[in-house]
């Protein structure tokens, strides 16, 4: 009896609200959920401009361009720990620390967020 009631409710929902397919609510993009607490400062932007920007503005060596969601999403999907490890230790064409020898871990987190969101949020 309970199964019949549930099935009836699902059918009624489908007829009235067009929800025959159970679709999850839109998820926040990874660029706004990972590194969410990372904030880039004005000094950090200057440091970013003399280090990270060398490759991430034009995509040199395969670097994901600033704000290129399609390039950033698969990297972000690996998770914050993996992306930070690649940043700190270098990965493929990326040199360790992205040539930012005076960057701290929090700086790198802020730069990743800055680039993945296109300099915004």
Domain assignment present for 21: no
Domain assignment present for 16: no
Task: Give mean pLDDT, residues 55-59.
Answer: 95
Mean pLDDT of the chain: 79
Domain assignment present for 8: no
> What residue numbers bound the domain in which 84 lies?
27-116
pTM higher than 0.85? no
Domain assignment present for 6: no
Domain assignment present for 92: yes
CATH number of domain containing 85: 1.10.760.10
Domain assignment present for 76: yes
Domain assignment present for 11: no
- Evaluate if residue 10 carries a pLDDT over 70: no
**How many domains are there within the chain?**
1
pLDDT band at 34 (very low <50, low <70, confident <90, very high): confident
pLDDT in tens, 60-71: 999 999 999 999
Full DSSP string of 2-56: HHHHHHHHHHHHHHHH---S--PPPPPPHHHHTTTT----HHHHHHHHHTTHHHH
Length of the chain: 121
pLDDT band at 30 (very low <50, low <70, confident <90, very high): low
Return the structure tokens found at 99: 């040539």
Domain assignment present for 14: no
pLDDT in tens, 87-107: 999 999 999 999 999 999 999
């Amino acid at each position: 009896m309970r199964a019949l009631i549930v099935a009836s409710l699902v059918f009624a929902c489908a007829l009235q609200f067009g929800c025959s397919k159970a679709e999850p609510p839109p998820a926040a993009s990874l660029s706004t959920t990972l590194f969410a607490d990372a904030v880039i400062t004005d000094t950090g932007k200057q440091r970013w401009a003399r280090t990270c920007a060398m490759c991430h503005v034009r995509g040199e060596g395969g670097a994901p361009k600033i704000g290129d969601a399609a390039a950033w999403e698969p990297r972000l999907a690996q998770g914050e720990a993996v992306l930070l490890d690649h940043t700190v230790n270098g990965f493929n064409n990326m040199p360790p620390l992205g040539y930012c020898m005076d960057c701290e871990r929090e700086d790198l987190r802020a730069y990743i967020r800055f680039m993945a969101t296109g300099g915004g949020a």
